[in-house]
Amino acid sequence: MSPTPPPAKQVPSVRSFHGDSVTDPYAWLCDKEDPDTIAFLNAENDYTQALTAGQEDLRGAIFGEIKARVQETDLSVPVRRGDWWYYGRTVEGQQYGLQCRTAAKPGDDTPPLAADGAAGKDGALPGEEVMLDANQLAGDSEFFSLGALSVSPDGRQLAYSTDYAGDERFTLRIKNLETGELAADEIPNTFYGAAWSLDGSALFYVTVDDAWRPWRVWRHLVGTPHSEDAVVFEEADEKFWVGVGLTRSQRFLVVSSASKVTSEVWLLDAAEPEGELRVVRPRQPGLEYSVEHQLFADGRQRLLVLHNDGAVNFELAEAPVDDPSRWTTLIAGQDSTRLLDVDAFTEFLVVDYRRDGLTGLRVIRADGSGYDVDFPEPIYTVSPGGTPDADASQYRLHYESLVTPDSVYDCVMATGELILRRRQPVLPAPDGREYRPEDYQQFREWATAPDGTQVPISLVCRRGTPRDGSAPGLLYGYGSYEISMDPHFSIARLSLLDRGFVYAIAHIRGGGELGRTWYDDGKMLHKKNTFSDFVACARHLVTEHWTTAGRLVARGGSAGGLLMGAAVNLAPDAFAGIVAQVPFVDALTSILDPSLPLTVTEWEEWGDPLHDREVYQYMKSYTPYENVRPVEYPPILAVTSLNDTRVLYREPARWIARLQATAQGGPFLLKTEMNAGHGGRSGRYDAWHEEAFVLAWIIETAKASRTGS
């Protein structure tokens, strides 16, 4: 007999807002310290393990395929900064990477590469200094993550922070790179990132409030107790997050405070770490902007401001350093092009943009002439690769597609010449079969949403995959925060494609693929467009005979997990299975509670159901947990982490409990990592095992649906 789901006790708890009372029988699962909660999570893990035990051999095969295809001892393309080439590398058998550097020769702009035979058997380059070995730092810990990694401008000190629980609370430390010694300075409970003063005497970092909102920027004077650190910026508005960084020119420390729709930037002379911050332009509701500093070769300087004042897709302006609020347009906003970012160098600008659903880069010379960096494939992603040296003449970028592995290029900015530095190796599969891009095909199609909107879909499959509906399919989606799910290459995905799967990405509203209006049309009181777009994409794949509903599995994580829950409530017949990872499936309950992490900051993304009855009713109509129905659902696999601070484990736990008690069909499985955070398990081999688990479930679920077993 098949195992049965562990019974979840029902303890009625009433939630009342705006005259509406809702009884939640599983609210008790919100108490992480309750032994009954842990017992339930462990019982669900046992149930999931029992129902997937037959997939163990397949999981092992997929893990073997991923491992065989990855070059385990590997080296990133070194990046020049000052007198050093900085890079990361991995060693076969080790879970985590090493952060390294080697001395650069004056005037040398050609990075040392492992492909040139310069690296030893362990991947080390000649003259290498290992700044940080994450394997040593991790030790025997079940989880490990870095939150900051910042070298001082003079190259003598390294600031780094560590998390051993997955709750994204980091301890910040300082290492002397000349002696290898750790300073006595140790700062607990910090957030991501850190920035140095120009002379390395001061380190700036961020801490969070009780709701896990980054809200304070601190100045730490190296060599002094952290109890003496000074707050240099504090953000009282609970809708705003703060961050800190250093401009590429290293002239200014940048403190940014931003909500979902408004931002404000403050500057501090990096040579005067105990000086006063200056605001670029005081915040105005709805005004978003970011700032870069450009120092020309002849000593002239200016601020570059990317903003949306009168330009929905943003425009680029310049401003005098001594009068930063006076903006003069350099690149006017366009309906067809969403400007994303700008990188400034002594002789060039590089603008990162999005047009026609694809990313792009434009290089602008000092005389104002420019060009777009072009690539031949019809579907691809190009993105900045990190060029920290303000005097650089070559711009590092990444290029990939659904069939082309991540490719690192240096663009000679004066001429546009592209120099391929490295393409991600894809080693032969365990059976000896080599990866050849020409064995696969990629496509761009358009689904029609219920309101007539055309929604792009990117697809990839093995060449020769039948177009008669017999192929299994996987449809991925996200659709929130203006985050775009751009076409990218994945070694793990090959394990699906080589088993006959069609893989598709639904570029739905709420993301940023087609500009700011695409995002606006999938948020707040337009959020349901995200879900109906996704269902339309699923229906399109069936109509166009890529697959059938009985063979199509959907996958999404975090806000994409909300998408999974809402889409399957909307159209349970459209899918053979659902994978929801760290899913935000109880959005309404969470966003009604301002004491929870991230809640208040989310009101400008989803709406404020606490104070707005219309928003409350709208969210209640789609939030997955409250809309589970007693109808036939496909099998569902939810994956979560006990220490996740972004989407609390309680959401998928209560969702699965309600599905098991209310819905028909299934099975409904919950897998909880008891020592991990929002990103799941931290070591690369552990992550591969986790991906193999999910892919095996997808394959077997599509297969069971296909055969009717």
Cβ atoms of 194 and 161 within 8 Å: the answer is yes
Q: Is 36 a catalytic residue?
A: no
Find the catalytic residue in 220, 488, 507, 678. 678
Lay out the sheet containing 358-365: strands in order across: 337-344, 348-355, 358-365, 370-372
Provide the 10 A C-beta neighbour count for residue 170. 26
Nearest to 441 by CA among 377, 359, 505, 523: 377
Cβ atoms of 6 and 670 within 8 Å: the answer is no
Token readout for 580 is 């929801």
Find the catalytic residue in 152, 495, 558, 682. 558
Token readout for 60 is 């092992």
Cβ atoms of 72 and 92 within 8 Å: the answer is yes
Q: Which long-range contacts (CB under 8 A, 24 or more apart) does 168-174 make?
A: 168/192, 168/212, 168/645, 168/646, 168/677, 168/678, 169/208, 172/148, 172/203, 172/205, 174/203, 174/222
Element (H, E) at 600: helix 599-606
d(CA 308, CA 86): 35
Cβ atoms of 126 and 118 within 8 Å: the answer is yes
Find the catalytic residue in 401, 480, 644, 705. 644
d(CA 551, CA 573): 11
d(CA 387, CA 350): 11
Q: What is the DSSP letter of 312?
A: T
Cβ atoms of 307 and 319 within 8 Å: the answer is no
* Amino acid occupying residue 247: T
Q: Is 644 a catalytic residue?
A: yes
Is residue 648 classed as helix, strand or coil in its secondary structure? coil
d(CA 658, CA 9): 11
Q: Name residues whose C-beta falls within 8 Å of residue 108's C-beta, 6 or more positions apart in sequence.
A: 80
Tokens 């401001």 found at: 305
Can you spell out the DSSP letters for 151-203?
E-TTSSEEEEEEESSSS--EEEEEEETTT-PEEEEEEEEEEEEEEE-TTSSEE
Is residue 579 classed as helix, strand or coil in its secondary structure? strand
CA distances in angstroms from 299 to 53, 328, 480, listed in the order given: 67, 20, 42
d(CA 308, CA 482): 15
Q: What is the 3-state secondary structure (H, E, C) of 690-704?
A: HHHHHHHHHHHHHHH
List the beta strands (DSSP E) in 222-336. 230-234, 241-246, 252-258, 263-269, 278-279, 289-295, 301-307, 315-319, 328-331
Q: Is 545 a catalytic residue?
A: no
Token readout for 449 is 């949403």
d(CA 570, CA 574): 9
Q: Name residues whose C-beta falls within 8 Å of residue 377's C-beta, 6 or more positions apart in sequence.
A: 401, 403, 404, 442
Nearest to 331 by CA among 342, 321, 320: 342
Q: Show which residues are catalytic.
A: 558, 644, 678
